[in-house]
Amino acid sequence: MMERKYQLVAWTENSADTEKARLYLLPSLESEVKASLFNDLKAIHQEEYRSNGFISLDFAQRGIRAYENMARFEILTGHFGTGIRYLFFAARFCNGKLRHEFVRLCNEALRLAKKYRREDVLNERTPKMILEIYYDHVAA
């Protein structure tokens, strides 16, 4: 009989609680997953470049989804600051028709920054710029 060998490459913690869930991966597997997510972001950037910055509604929704997927992965794997940054990058794709998405993404980023004590991210250039628009919008 042939002996099988197994290697643990990923495991979860608190998977029943979405707020505390954590995913642990071997570094090589984490790199593979990130590469796939980066390819999605690369495609978004290439399309944005080809369209000279014009962002249609469909393209904006795909951009939001790609950045939000990356944010969720980063947060799930314990890279909270990076995940929060990606939520702000997702908010950058929101246009007038996606105002509700803009507010939702900013609210989520603010909530996570407070939860994970990463308010320092809010003082970085892009998050700060997005938050200025957000505060103007919610004050109106």
Distances (CA, A) of 64 to 22, 47, 55, 72, 75: 23, 14, 11, 12, 16
Could you write out the DSSP letters of every residue in 101-135?
Answer: HHHHHHHHHHHHHHHTT-GGGGGSHHHHHHHHHHH
Task: Name the pTM for this structure.
Answer: 0.84
Please report the beta strands in the chain, taking only residues with DSSP state E, as ranges in sequence order.
Answer: 10-13, 22-25
pLDDT digits (tens, 9 = 90+) for 45-87: 898 889 887 888 999 999 999 999 999 999 998 999 999 999 9
Predicted pLDDT of residue 131: 97
